[in-house]
């Protein structure tokens, strides 16, 4: 009898250790263990989806963020006892059929990322009477890898290790459950409910309040910029913005009648200060009960068409605000209410009865556009300021998240609100007109929003040195979430603290504003905005006063850099590149840069080091290893891997150019399209080989998507001191067929110049 018991005991113990089974699918495998169903799907050789559901459930999941469908990937699938290995030519995925652990390796078997054993947890909960789960997945990170992403947060952190962050959209905090590692991989946790990210020495985890499934995407790019390219492949490419959108924007809270924005453009033109766009903020619709009526009230805006036309006659553009909430006296409110398309919680402004609409409903998005198009777009408006897209949530109560939406409870889709409402405006304008590129400024975002031509700003931050400093890591982490367009209110939004000393004439505010504007020169959008203190350049004094002159200097610098910036934008669109890059993106080999929060790369060439301390006479700058660096202002050279102390008089923001950079330099203009680029200076920074592609198109339509654009690739051979301009590729209406380039070779102790004519054929220049 004892032998029989021993045999039964051995069978019970050993049975789970027998090789478990799996089913091969078109894109991977399916299997079950620990009362969970697991599917591994290869979307590309480098992108893998890991999808789990509890037994006896079969939820239908259609991602709001992911647009890509699985490609046909050549996979080698093998099994060794209880481990299944799925190998593409880029990565290997190992699945333990007993514990459920999924691990990732590169093609050379180097470990990249791994789940913990039994790391998936489903806890039954009710979400407005629907039985579902809270979902948690735990992973293990290497001790020394740095992690970035998670959206935009105001904590001043660069590296997101050893952090705990509650991810729920709010003003100033953009919440995206995504990480990017210095090991060259990224992970997107595809869940839209409030989620807690936590990292500690024991584990890293995503823990979501609501989820019928556990669903994440592993992306291996080899480099961090390669990961960003995978994100765009997975969730959509970033379209080109119009050329004017890379110029200077002036705004305030708020212009109160139709003449004020016209006068702003007129004054800038009179002063000869470049500007491309003025922004009309809220209440052009009248009282709060008519909030966001999307039409002009007749007292202060009796002839809005005249306002738009006068701005256009001065070769400028008008952007105008719209919100996701509607006052109770608006036509939209009545229509949405009649169709059960309002979400019943309080949103801005307080005590107005304003409610947000349901952007998860495609019909509601169409209704939203119907009013926006008829009341505003029909006037010739050039761009949208979609404010409060997180959205504002006043008098917040837990039961507010029980409110129904088209896709389930508000709680279950909370964080995707900005993606849906911004996407609705983009898609509907594209259907309405191909003559104007969509240009959107918005306050919140979610993964995939880059496909909607949206430029996210950092919210209503206060006007302080601390808040200013925090913007720099916030923007870098946001950009590593795959969304390239980001900016801030130059000077900070709430500036009332400076009124006691004279507002725009207060020297302390002037210093902060000027330093912030220097930073703004090297953001994807350069935009002045705020409340309490008007920010137009002439508010600070007259030409000859330092606060005026330094602003003029940097605004002019922005416009001279437009050929570089516009070409960088094409790299973002065409090659899935980046504008603002954490130093770790380009210099992953240099661990000294992993936690540098107040420096970044702007495109391929520029290292930007804003001055973020009050009355700073100098600041320390670290120059990464592996290249030589040029001081942009003096051409003095420094070896990488060094820390230097740079003098910072008010007219100087430390700015360095990487050796081997090729920087096209445009003419001084008063607006982006004032002059053709028929005589550009091409600056070459000696010390390494380099390449740059100059991009041009028709500036403001979608003909570029049909191939109507041109590329001129330029190459520098450092050893031979030779510069080649390749044959032009492509063509478009209005293209410059013959032009001149002034080639400027910059070395530490000399500058060489040579002017050449170029007719589109390959040209070799010896310097």
Residue 675: count other Cβ atoms within 10 Å of its Cβ: 14
- DSSP string spanning 654-699? -EEEETT-EEEE----SSTTSS-SSEEEEEEE-SS-EEEEEEE--S
Report residue 513 CA to chain centroid gap: 23
Contact 334, 371 (CB under 8 A): no
In our burial notation (b when 16+ CB lie closer than 10 A, e otherwise), range 126-136 reads ebbeeebbbbb
SS3 92: strand
What does R_g of the chain's alpha carbons equal in angstroms? 27
Phi, psi angles (nearest 5°) of residue 573:
-75, -45
Question: For helices 259-271 and 304-313, what crossing angle results, to 10°?
Answer: 10
Rounded Cα distance, 249 and 388, in Å = 19
Cis peptide before 391 (omega within 30 of 0): yes
- Contact between 443 and 389 under an 8 Å Cβ cutoff? The reply is yes
Is 335 catalytic? The answer is no
- Rounded distance, CA 286 to CA 295, Å? 9
Alpha-carbon 487 to chain mean position: 9
- Of 634, 654, 633, the closest CA to residue 644 belongs to 654
Q: How far is CA 672 from CA 472, 669, 737, 738, in A?
A: 26, 7, 20, 21
E-assigned strand segments in 546-634 = 580-581, 600-602, 606-608, 618-623, 628-631
658 is written with which tokens? 């990487």
Q: Which of 212, 346, 382, 387 is catalytic?
A: 387
The answer for residues whose C-beta is within 8 angstroms of residue 216's C-beta and 6 or more apart is 49, 50, 137, 187, 188, 189, 190, 206
Q: Position of tokens 């330093």?
A: 515
Structure-token pair, residue 418:
């900005």
Annotated catalytic residue: which of 199, 212, 225, 460? Answer: 460
Question: What DSSP string describes 50-82?
Answer: EEEEETT-------SS--PPPP----EEEEETT
Crossing angle for the helix pair 362-375 and 417-432, nearest 10 degrees? Answer: 50
State the first-to-last Cα distance of the chain, in angstroms, to the nearest integer.
Answer: 95
Active site residue 460: yes
Separation of alpha carbons 312 and 580, rounded Å: 31
DSSP string, 171-205: TTBEEEEEEEETTSEEEEE---S-EEEEEETTEEE
Q: Which of 215, 225, 390, 392 is catalytic?
A: 390
* 488 neighbors 471 (Cβ within 8 angstroms): yes
Taking the C-alpha atoms of residue 535 and residue 529, their distance in angstroms, rounded to an integer, is 7
Active site residue 387: yes
What is the C-alpha separation between 22 and 38, in angstroms, rounded?
10
Bond preceding residue 172 cis, omega within 30 of 0: no
Q: Report whether 189 contacts 216 (CB < 8 A).
A: yes
83: helix, strand or coil = strand
What does each C-alpha distance from 648 to 463, 547, 634, 645 come to in angstroms?
21, 15, 13, 9
**DSSP H or E segment with residue 473:** helix 465-479
**Residue among 676, 632, 657 at smallest CA distance from 716:** 657
Which tokens sit at 119?
């790391």
Tokens at residue 550, please?
């330094």
Catalytic residues: 387, 390, 460
């Amino acid at each position: 009898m004892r032998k029989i018991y021993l045999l039964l005991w051995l069978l019970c113990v050993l049975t789970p250790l027998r090789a478990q089974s799996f089913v091969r699918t078109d894109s991977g495998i399916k299997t079950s263990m620990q009362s969970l169903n697991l599917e591994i799907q290869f979307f590309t050789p480098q992108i893998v989806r890991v999808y789990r559901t509890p037994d006896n459930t079969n939820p239908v999941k259609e991602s709001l963020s992911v647009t890509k469908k699985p490609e046909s990937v050549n996979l080698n699938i093998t099994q060794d006892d209880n481990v299944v290995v799925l190998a593409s030519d880029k990565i290997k995925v190992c699945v333990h059929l007993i514990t459920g652990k999924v691990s990732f390796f590169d093609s050379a078997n180097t470990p990249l990322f791994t789940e913990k054993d039994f790391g998936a947890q489903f806890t039954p909960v009710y979400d407005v009477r629907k039985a579902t789960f809270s979902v948690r997945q735990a992973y293990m990170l290497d001790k020394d890898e740095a992690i970035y992403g998670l959206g935009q947060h105001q904590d001043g952190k660069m590296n997101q290790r050893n952090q705990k962050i509650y991810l729920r959209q709010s003003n100033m905090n953009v919440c995206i459950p995504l990480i990017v590692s210095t090991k060259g991989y990224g992970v997107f946790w595809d869940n839209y409910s409030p989620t807690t990210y936590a990292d500690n020495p024991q584990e890293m985890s995503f823990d979501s309040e609501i989820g019928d499934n556990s669903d994440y995407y592993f992306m291996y790019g080899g480099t961090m910029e390669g990961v960003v390219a995978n994100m765009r492949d997975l969730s959509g490419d970033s379209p080109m913005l119009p050329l004017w959108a890379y110029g200077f924007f002036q705004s305030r809270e708020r212009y109160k009648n139709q003449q004020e924005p016209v006068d702003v453009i007129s004054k800038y033109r009179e002063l000869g200060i470049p500007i491309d766009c003025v922004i009309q903020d809220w209440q052009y619709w009248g009282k709060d009960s008519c909030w966001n009526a999307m039409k002009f009230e007749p007292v202060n805006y009796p002839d809005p068409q005249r306002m738009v036309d006068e701005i256009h006659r001065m070769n400028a553009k008008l952007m105008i605000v719209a919100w996701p909430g509607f006052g109770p006296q608006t036509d939209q409110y009545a229509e949405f209410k009649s169709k059960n398309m309002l979400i019943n919680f309080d949103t801005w402004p307080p005590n107005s009865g304003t409610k947000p609409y349901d952007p998860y409903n495609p019909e509601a998005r169409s209704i939203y556009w119907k009013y926006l198009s008829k009341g505003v777009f029909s006037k010739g408006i050039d761009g949208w300021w979609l404010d409060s897209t997180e959205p504002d949530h006043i008098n917040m109560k837990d039961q507010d998240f029980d409110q129904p939406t088209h896709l389930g409870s508000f709680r279950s889709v909370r964080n995707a609100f900005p993606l849906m409402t911004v996407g609705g405006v983009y898609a509907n304008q594209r259907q309405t007109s191909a003559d104007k590129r969509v240009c959107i400024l918005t306050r919140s975002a979610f993964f995939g929003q880059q496909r909607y031509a949206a430029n996210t700003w950092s919210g209503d931050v206060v006007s302080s040195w601390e808040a200013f400093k925090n913007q720099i890591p916030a923007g870098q982490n946001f950009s590593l979430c795959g969304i390239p367009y980001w900016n801030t209110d130059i000077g900070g939004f709430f500036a009332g603290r400076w009124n006691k000393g004279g507002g725009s004439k207060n020297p302390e505010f002037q210093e902060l504003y000027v330093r912030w504007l220097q930073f703004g020169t090297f953001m994807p959008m350069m935009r002045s905005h705020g409340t309490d203190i008007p920010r137009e350049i002439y508010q600070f004094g007259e030409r000859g006063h330092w606060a005026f002159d330094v602003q003029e200097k940097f605004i002019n610098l922005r416009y001279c850099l437009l050929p570089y910036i516009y070409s960088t934008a094409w790299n973002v669109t065409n090659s899935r590149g980046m504008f603002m890059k954490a130093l770790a993106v380009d210099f992953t080999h240099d661990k000294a840069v992993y936690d540098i929060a107040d420096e970044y790369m702007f495109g391929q060439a520029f290292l930007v080091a804003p001055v973020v301390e009050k009355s700073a006479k100098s600041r320390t700058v670290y120059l990464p290893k592996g290249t030589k660096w040029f001081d942009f202002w003096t051409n003095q050279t420094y070896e990488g891997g060094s820390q230097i102390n740079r003098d910072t008089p008010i007219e100087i923001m430390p700015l360095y150019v990487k050796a081997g950079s090729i920087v096209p330099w445009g003419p001084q203009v008063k607006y982006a399209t004032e002059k053709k680029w028929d005589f550009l200076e091409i600056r070459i920074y000696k010390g390494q080989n380099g390449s740059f592609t100059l991009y041009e198109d028709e500036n403001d339509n979608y003909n570029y998507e049909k191939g109507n654009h041109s590329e001129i690739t330029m190459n520098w051979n450092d050893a031979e001191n030779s510069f080649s301009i390749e044959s032009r590729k492509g063509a478009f209406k209005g293209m410059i067929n013959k032009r001149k380039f002034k080639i400027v070779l910059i070395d530490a102790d000399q500058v060489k110049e040579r002017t050449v004519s170029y007719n589109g054929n390959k040209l070799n220049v010896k310097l």
